[in-house]
Amino acid sequence: MTPATAALFDALGDPTRRAIVSRIARGPVSVSALATPLGISLTAVGQHLRLLEKAGLVLSEKQGRTRSCALRPEGLRAVEQWAQACRKEWEARLDRLGDLLDALPDA
């Protein structure tokens, strides 16, 4: 697993950050808009955002006095790909095993 992918799963390992990602997926939001429903401080959201941004899941930009947060779909795609790679590796093994059994004399 590449360090970049590790950062993605580390980031998504926290429920608050997952909620933030979910919310951002519905459209760009400000820091306050994220903080309010979560019931945590702006500072806390800022800390999560920095991590999410570092992981490549989110992109944010300051517009005036507010910060607008957007999703980086590539981050999520990398998550999908790692999970899929693991799964496929396992399933391929099962397939080979099945073929082997099929090839047994008088199966």
Stretch that binds DNA, among 1-9, 48-56, 84-92, 95-103 (CB under 7 A): 48-56
Least distance CB 22 / its own copies (angstroms): 6
Spatial CA neighbour of 23 closest among 64, 61, 57 = 57
Judged by CB under 7 A, does residue 47 bind DNA?
A: yes
Q: How many Cβ atoms sit within 10 Å of the Cβ of residue 88?
A: 11
Judged by CB under 7 A, does residue 14 bind DNA?
A: yes
| Contact string 55-84 vs DNA (x = CB under 7 A) | -------xxxxxx-----------------
Spatial CA neighbour of 40 closest among 71, 59, 16 = 16
Judged by CB under 7 A, does residue 22 bind DNA?
A: no
Q: Which is nearer to DNA, 22 or 32 (CB)?
A: 32
Q: What's the Cα-to-Cα distance from 44 to each of 15, 48, 62, 84, 93, rounded to whole Å?
A: 13, 6, 17, 32, 44
Spatial CA neighbour of 6 closest among 62, 56, 74, 58 = 56
- For DNA, the binding residues (CB under 7 A) are 13-14, 16, 30-32, 35, 39-44, 46-49, 51, 62-67
